[in-house]
Amino acid sequence: MAFSTGGGGGAMGEINVTPMIDILLVLLIIFMVIVPTVPHGLDALVPQPPKDPQKQQQPNDRTIVVQVIYRAGAAPLYKINETDVQKTDLLARLTEIYSNRAERVMFVRGDDNVDFRYVADVIDIGRAANVDHIGLMTPKILAGQ
């Protein structure tokens, strides 16, 4: 601490702010280094518009949707893009579909009344077929309900 002697009759204390400024600058540098490395959230895949809108989509380029359809008192029906598939053939069919695809994205749609274990089985079969991203489709919520 520095003391100044003046004509006022006693010693007057002044705070030396230099060490506080040094600490402030060190903290500023630390925060500037840490902030860019903090994760900002989850990566999301956003649908992109087609590059050539005139070009027709090939059947191999379509989105794959596996549907689990409820049947009262029986095992559910399975469909891949509106094509009926037996559950035992589901793994082979998905493996065949994704064997030469770069983007391995699949959606699963289950009826409201179907037990979730059937949907979970389809997710497991999709993972076994080396599908990278599996999404669950939900019904659209209408405004006013």
Q: What is the pLDDT of residues 5-40, one digit of tens each?
A: 555 556 767 888 888 999 999 999 998 888 776 666
Integer Cα distance of 52 and 55 in angstroms: 6
Q: 16: which residues sit within 8 A by CB, 6+ positions away?
A: 1, 2
Instruction: Find the angle CA(22)-CA(25)-CA(3) to the nearest 5 degrees.
Output: 25
- Is residue 56 over pLDDT 70? no
Going along the chain from its start, the domains and CATH numbers come out as: 2-37 (no CATH), 59-137 (3.30.420.270)
Q: What is the pLDDT of residues 79-116, one digit of tens each?
A: 998 888 998 999 999 999 888 888 888 999 988 888 88
User: Global pTM?
Assistant: 0.55
